[in-house]
Structure 1
Amino acid sequence: MTGPGAARVLVTGGSGPSGVAVARALAAAGHRVATVGSDQARIAAAAEKAGDGVAPFTCDLADFDGVRQLREQLGGTFGPVDAVIHLVGGWRGAKGIADQSDEDWDFLERRAVTTLRNVSRVFFDDIAASPAGRFAMVSSTALDKPTAAVASYVAAKAAAEAWTMAMADGFRRASGDGGSLAAATILVVKALVDDELRRAHPERKFPGATDVADLAAAVVRLFDTPAAGLNGARLRLAD
């Protein structure tokens, strides 16, 4: 684990299977974990599923003022955040370029870009000041070779990646000559899969997909790896 003691980690998008898996793994590794979602009942159930030591919070991360209020709430009950694991996402596809809809773009931009921008702007200084400062997002191998059918999706993910790389530069600048103790990292997967999804689709093989437990293990390793090897890195988890 990097830095003295356990890190205080905020897991966004905590209501989904990846959020539950990541929160559970971080808590098991000895970190203090807060998980946030937009639906109070869902995030409370997810935090309970993740296990002891995971505290649920409710916030619409696309609302900048709401994220600032979340930081104040966390500060009062949880303490300053050392790290954010950003798992908010979504997917929309089409047949080609011409039928990429505004509705799909608005959905993807709000979830993939706006939430990340808001969270990073609000928590950047806290992460940069922490000896265990970490920011991580999950991206897609679809960016390696974009296709027309997923143009909106890959464009939104590319914007989120660019913002995260800019955060990495910000952490380098914030560290001065002392070497960065904070890191912004992109975790790249083809798709995510969990046991519930496998049970729902026994006919599918999910080739190249990353199990949410493996994603969670990769997140835990971020805190045991020096920042210099993580800041600005694009770590591929896909098979």
Structure 2
Amino acid sequence: MTAQRRSDLSARAAVAADVPFLARTEFEASLPPFGRSFWDDLLQDSGSDTMLFLEAVLREGASSWGAVEDFIVFEVETTPAAACAVFAPDERAAQGPLNLDRLDRVAGALSWTSETTAAFRAAYQGIWSRGVDFLKPQAELIVESVAVAPGFRGQGLGDALMRAAFDKAREKGAASLGIMVIHGNNAAKALYEKHFEPYTTFHPAYFDHAFPGLTKFKASLAD
């Protein structure tokens, strides 16, 4: 049965109470194709759990790739099952997923010392401050943090998320919608190819073969 025909499936805007589920969504979205989140590596010396960190980022408004209110949540009956963010990128979005201007608020929520905060900031900048031109937005609105909870995969919720993202973008009057996928995440690539057109590809050589490359997609929303 596809998600389109399920009478027990509903979509809604995320609210503050969804933060733990949204944090899990962001974590799941960061895993493929490596099987490990880059957040785990950045946090390994902080003493903080990755889920608690991501929850703090959302609660403190420190995400550059979608605030709580930017998320669409799909529920099966009353259980959150899938989510994605649809947001308007600004200059911070091209500098990585975290708004460093609010790192001190996140650190305070996690009771980090100034030393821990400084070490995390340095580690983060070491990853995200090295030529991130590939993050410049290709569309007016961007879809990020797309994930379906493990128990609900294979039921058409990915397609439902994409349709909902397009609906939200049109409601906002956007002319275009974009998304990107890391090479090797074949399931996401197949999903996005059904709804978007390839926009540009950054091959492994662009990253000195330290990263498998990525493809950005774009869809025009003009009538």
TM over 0.5: no
The structure that is strand-richer by fraction is 2
